[in-house]
Chain A
Amino acid sequence: MDVRSQISMVFHLDKCIGCHTCSIACKNIWTDRKGTEYMWWNNVETKPGTGYPTRWEDQEKYKGGWEKLNGSIRLRSTGKSRIIPNIFHHPHQPGMDDYYEPWTYKYDELFTAPEGNDQPTARPISMVTGKYIDIEAGPNWDDDLSGSPVYAANDPNLKGLTEEQKMQLSAIERLVFFYFPRICNHCLNPSCVASCPSGALHKRGEDGIVLVDQERCRGWRSCIPACPYKKTYYNWQTGKSEKCILCFPRIETGQAPACFHSCVGRIRYLGVLLYDADKIEDVANLPSDELIDAHRDMILNPHDPEVIKAAKANGVHDSIIKSAQKSPVYKFVKEWGIALPPHIEYRTLPMLFYVPPMLPVMTSMDGNAKKNMCEGLFPDFEKSRVPMEFLANLFSGGNTGKVRYTLKKQMAVRQYRRAVTVGDIDMEAAKKMLVAADSSVEEAEGIYNLTSLCTFEERFVIPPANREEAIQMMQDPLEHKQSVGFGLLEDPERGA
């Protein structure tokens, strides 16, 4: 058992209101520099929709992640021999149009335009070329189903749905969508790290954050096609790749990441998971339908004395173990099993999890009266307007059973809480439902509390950084301290 720790996040999609505050907070801190205008380390997508970059889930085009081959796995995009004919370019990268050409407006013209018959306007200009452009698309062009005959209709997750199901999704007055916020998944088997010829990408030992070493990156751009989530980006100004750093400077000082901190719907939960790194290779190799369970099995119980012993032997600090025992992520993923990884079939073993959304109550207007389209207070999620297969394509590699399990449990919790607080549902029936959903009254209270009443401290549980522990493995910590801090990163021009 090779116990390691990972800072991990859960997104409760039922609570996401699609306000993009997380994206803006992230952009203001990290990607408002020249060369990064087009990057959105955090973005919020509308599903069904094609996302950013367009159709990033279409691995036939972008060749992201791993594929199974001869009993082993290999990168889809590149490899030691396959890189040779393409050594100077990677043919499967998204182009600028697939992201979008970043733009601003020429506000000056509002003040400086000569007097004329028309109101002056601020015309859009490209932030790359500085020239006037016609805006064709943006990073959330398909937001709230805008342009849905083009964008929503081309969502790769619609694969495997019947024509009827597809028709239903886009039927007038039955349109439905939900939001899907995305950051780097800080995977256990990251394909970006595997593809990097310079060894610049690495997964930080103490907290599992995947980082690009800006000193070592040589701009080969292998990571860009290799990441199936398209969450590494090429900075055209510095000629190096960049990606979400899970706000590690904030985490090290006890602050929540910017996206987490600014989240209006409080949908995000951050905590530590302990996992068994010995299993990574075997799990990534399993058949598709076993991946979800095996991935969950890698996550270890932080209360288990055996695990604690192995963790300590592996140099995991006591404070990390203590933090892992209080981790909200552990509860959602492992104890309750209602959070699922996005696109497990890419075999990168992502370490961010999503609680699938309960889709909206189906009602219609009948004259002035609102009419429920289903029996009972809550809709039957089996008849949901978003087919189970669609959610399964997103969160469980097509395995509808896993999605059904989480929805059933969430539904049972709602019924139970309705019985407690309003009482118009029979308590016995509600409890029966809980049992049928593989749950219990205690668990239902736990889910209810952490979903609806949670405080900041319950959602955000991470240990002190213990940077000195990590530094000690490479260098004398005192020497390290003396070599960083006040000073110049680059020699000043005038000579020193």
Chain B
Amino acid sequence: MRRLSRKLPVANIKSGLAKVSFVLFSLVFFSLLQAQVPADYYKQNCASCHTVGGGRLTGPDLKNVADRQSREWLVNWLLDPDGILKSGDPYAVKLQKEARGAVMTRSPGMTRAVAIALLDLIDEESKLEKSQFAGAQISDRPLLEEDIEEGRALFLGRKRLKNNGPACVGCHTVNSMKGLGGGRLGLNLTRAYARLEGRKGLSAWLVAPPSLMMNPIFKKYPIDEEEVLPLVAFLKNETEKDEPENATARINFLLYGIGGAVVLLVLFDLFWNNRFRGVRRPMVKESYHG
């Protein structure tokens, strides 16, 4: 087949056309698909920082956002928040100040069509008495000692998350952990409660984690709403304790790793002590020194 197409230019053009039309078709198809479900897009990418009518989280409440800025400005902001901030736009700088320095990022798959669809959705939702994006329905009850313990169990994976999501400790650690500490792929969560400005922000984050790493994992296995409160309680407790980072854990981890590797190599060598290692050199050596 390959040889045939190399030889016949007609076949080449045909296959080229097929490729181009396939790419075009899929682009159109997928953008349509995304535009059709702006509500899902909002939940996955926006809801952890913004509510509609639920008050401020990390980012401002988006109710009646159309009254505050022009449609054109908002679309541009969604498409390239970084660029607008850098250009020194006064409103953007004000937003950043209000968010205590947190910067909105361009969300994955954002296009002009998606931005317009989202803004239309927000306008619709703003007119409603109670928007579906008013924020996570997490109970306001005071946090108890049991909640902290429950949260610790969930965090450490002693208790399985209801929807089979991975336990936090796989990637995160907190300073109160002893020994080798927790995972180091993700952030240290000791001050997560403070960073996300308290109960409301942290809960919103946990309901739909928006970060690049966590989003695809927890989209499939979301944290159950009943589990959010104990985790918040646990993380709040950590922030309040605010222990200094255990500096030796990091070095210990490395040392244990090296030590373990050495022990394994020694064991392998003992186990395969009689393995084949050449004939002539040992023979000559033995004849002269043996």
Query: Which A residues fall within an 8 A CB radius of B?
Result: 50, 53-55, 58, 61-62, 91-95, 97-98, 136-137, 149-150, 153-154, 495
Contacts and interface: CB of A to CB of B under 8 A. Distances in A.
A150 B284 contact: yes
Interface in B250-290: 275-276, 278-281, 283-284, 287-288
Given A95-B278, A495-B6, 19 more contacts: A50-B283, A53-B279, A54-B280, A54-B283, A55-B280, A55-B283, A62-B279, A91-B275, A91-B276, A92-B276, A94-B279, A98-B278, A98-B279, A136-B281, A150-B284, A150-B287, A150-B288, A153-B287, A154-B287
A150 B281 contact: no
B278 A97 contact: yes
A62 B287 CA distance: 20
Nearest to B272: A91
A98 B287 contact: no
20 contacts: A50-B280, A50-B283, A53-B279, A54-B279, A54-B280, A54-B283, A55-B279, A55-B280, A55-B283, A61-B276, A61-B279, A91-B275, A91-B276, A92-B276, A97-B281, A98-B279, A150-B284, A150-B287, A150-B288, A153-B287
For the complex of A and B, list the 8 residue pairs with the smallest distance between their C-beta atoms, beginning with the closest: A54-B280, A150-B287, A95-B278, A54-B279, A98-B279, A91-B276, A55-B279, A98-B280
A133 to B, nearest CB: 15
Contacts of A62: 279
Contacts of B275: 91
Contacts of A58: 279
Nearest to A90: B276
A390 B283 CA distance: 20
Nearest to B283: A154
A98 B279 CA distance: 6
A136 B288 CA distance: 14
A137 B280 contact: yes
A153 B281 CA distance: 15
Nearest to B7: A495
Dominant secondary structure of chain A at its interface with chain B: loop
B112 to A, nearest CB: 46
A149 B287 contact: yes
Given A149-B287, A150-B287, A97 B276 contact: no
Contacts of B280: 50, 53-55, 97-98, 137
Interface of B: 6, 275-276, 278-281, 283-284, 287-288
A93 B284 CA distance: 19
Contacts, number: 37
Contacts of A50: 280, 283
Contacts of A53: 279-280
Contacts of B278: 95, 97-98
Contacts of A136: 281
Nearest to A56: B279
Nearest to A93: B276
A495 B278 CA distance: 47
Contacts of B6: 495
Nearest to A496: B3
A92 B277 CA distance: 9
B277 to A, nearest CB: 8
A88 to B, nearest CB: 15
A149 B275 CA distance: 26
Nearest to B285: A150
Contacts of A61: 276, 279
A154 B279 CA distance: 11
B289 to A, nearest CB: 11
A62 B279 CA distance: 9
Nearest to A91: B276
Contacts of B281: 97, 136
B239 to A, nearest CB: 51
Of the listed residues B279, B281, B284, the one surrounded by the most CB atoms of chain A closer than 10 A to its CB is B279
A28 to B, nearest CB: 26
A26 to B, nearest CB: 23
A171 B154 CA distance: 82
Q: Residue among B278, B280, B287 with the most chain A CB within 10 A?
A: B280
A484 B276 CA distance: 45
B34 to A, nearest CB: 45
B284 to A, nearest CB: 5
Nearest to B278: A95
A91 B276 CA distance: 6
A262 B280 CA distance: 31
A318 to B, nearest CB: 47
Nearest to B287: A150
B272 to A, nearest CB: 9
Contacts of A137: 280
A66 to B, nearest CB: 19
A184 to B, nearest CB: 21
A16 B278 CA distance: 31
A95 B277 CA distance: 8
Contacts of B284: 150
A145 to B, nearest CB: 14
A107 B278 CA distance: 31
B238 to A, nearest CB: 47
Nearest to A94: B279
A63 to B, nearest CB: 9
B157 to A, nearest CB: 34
Contacts of B279: 53-55, 58, 61-62, 94, 98
A97 B288 CA distance: 18
A89 to B, nearest CB: 10
Contacts of B288: 150
A92 B172 CA distance: 47
A136 B282 CA distance: 13
A454 B178 CA distance: 91
A178 to B, nearest CB: 22
A183 to B, nearest CB: 22
Contacts of A154: 283, 287
A53 B276 CA distance: 14
Nearest to B6: A495
A97 B280 CA distance: 7
A495 B6 CA distance: 9
A152 to B, nearest CB: 11
A303 to B, nearest CB: 46
A449 to B, nearest CB: 43
Nearest to B281: A97
B268 to A, nearest CB: 13
A127 B255 CA distance: 44
A233 to B, nearest CB: 16
A212 to B, nearest CB: 23
A294 B276 CA distance: 34
A334 B161 CA distance: 82
B186 to A, nearest CB: 36
A49 B6 CA distance: 60
A153 B288 CA distance: 12
Nearest to A154: B283
